[in-house]
Every structure is written in structure tokens, then in C-alpha cells.
Structure 1
């Protein structure tokens, strides 16, 4: 309610300031044709600009008070939710790494859906997931009813890496799988 009131006051202030400028710029034919926007007396001009013209402002000003509504939902997942999702779904995601010519190749197979929630995306996180040093979305493709992706990383770049999977739109499921290099 407070935000709607603040928004309405802001709109009225902007409208009032614009009305002063319009009145000053269109004051020809009145006794205030010399006026600048900052020195206009709005009262003598109010009858002409608020109640006259083709689109009377007597209809526009009350329309500013009409409230529009918006619905918003917030989904807050707790640390416990993440823990439970990881416990329940981590075993369904297969992450394999192997050494090839001094580089590591990481191959990932994940289910196309979890609890009837469709796969949305997977991201590679270098470092801590709260403040990563690198955050990269990975391209996936379908193979045998699963989502598949892979990437290579130089041997000297092997650090704390995690794959984060998202299932379902909005308030979906998030599963984190650490990448273990052998």
C-alpha cells in the first residue's frame, strides 16, 4: 500500500510539473503570456487547461488515481531445500572426468525431467557458488532420453568446479553436483 501511495505521489508531482510547463508554453491569449515555467500562476490557467480543450484534463487527472494491480510470487528456497534436493537427485546425474593429452574432458548425463519438471539449464561454476570466479552456461543436447553436455579444461585450470542443474520454471528444483577430477 505504501509503495502504491508513493508511486501515485510521484506521478502527481511529475504531472503537476509538466502541467506548469505546458501552461507556460501555451499561455498566449491570457494575461500570463510572459510567464516562464517556474513563475506560472496555475490558478488563472486551470480553467482553460483542465476543463477546456478537446481532451479535458478533468478526466486525465482522476485516471491517475486508478490503481493498476500486479501479481508477483516469490519463491525462496532454503539451504535445507537445496540439501534435500541434492540428497535425492545427485545420484541421477552422471558426471565423469578423464585425462586426455594433459587436459580433462568432463562428460555429463542428466535426466530430461525430475518430478515432472522439465530440464531448464546447466551452468558450470568455478569457485564458490555464492561468489563464483566464473559462471558459464553449458549447451546441452538430447541423447537416449537424457540431457548430455561436455567440456574440456586444461590440467592447470583444475579447481573447485560445480555443475548446477535447474529443473522446472519459476520455483523449480536446483541440484548441485561437484566435478571430481581423477
Structure 2
């Protein structure tokens, strides 16, 4: 074959491969686009599933904390009745921790609702104040000294019944909320 015919053959082959690559590249871009959309949809579904799981975990946390907070209030009242500063402080510290946890769950579940988180924050602050107010004091009128704290705790526990309805504790069945 002469060099001119090789050059002509090469030119034809080059032209055919160029023309054939355009549909293949288009198909490749289309496949990549479809895969990217599928990946994006899967990522969005995963994000929604994670958010749903997080919400359900917070709801479960709320439902778990409700009877515990009611029990803590009861134990604080018993400590006051027996004029036991040590027991009151122990239950007051437990209240601070668990009420703070409830506040965090509520802020995540209902970010616009500030009424109960505000009540919780007040009760937690007063319970913290009791720690310093009663430090090294064993002979005090506990009923009088802790009145504001107990009122703040009672204000929170009075609102807990509505949370049971909102977060579905009624679905638990015949369990006793205060044990």
C-alpha cells in the first residue's frame, strides 16, 4: 500500500472513531448523571432516616424521663418532710441533671415552644442554688428554705401530663407513670 492510501485510511478511521465517540460520551454522561441523581436521592433518604431516628430517640428520652422526674419530686418532698438536708440535696442534684436532659430533648423536638423549657431552667437554677444555700447547714427549716425550689419543680411536673399526651406515652398502656 502506498503512503497516500494509509493516510486516507487513517483519516477515515480517525473520523469514524471521533464520530462514534460522541454518542458513547453522551451515553457515559447520561449514566453518570443518573447515578449522581440516585446517590443524591439515597443521601437525602439517609438524612431523613437519621433525623427521624434522632427525633424518635428524643421522644423515647422524654417518655423515659417523665416518670423519673415525678419520682424525684416525690422524693424531694419526702426529704423535706423528714427534714433531711442531705437527701434533699441528693434529689435536688438528680433533678438538675435529669430536668436538664429533658430540656435538651424538648428544645430539639419543639424548638419554638419556650414555656416548659423556661420552667425547667428556673427549677434547675433554683435546685443549683439550694446546693450552696444549704451547704454545711444541717439544722434549718427545710420546708421554708426550699419552698421556691419545690414550687418551681412542681410547676414543671404539673406540665408533664401534657407531654405524655403529646409524645405518645398513652400508647405504653397500663404502666403507672409514678412508681
Pick the TM interval, shorter chain: under 0.3
The structure whose Rg is larger is 2
With the length of structure 1 as denominator, give the TM-score of the two structures.
0.21
With the length of structure 2 as denominator, give the TM-score of the two structures.
0.21
Structure with greater proportional helix content: 2
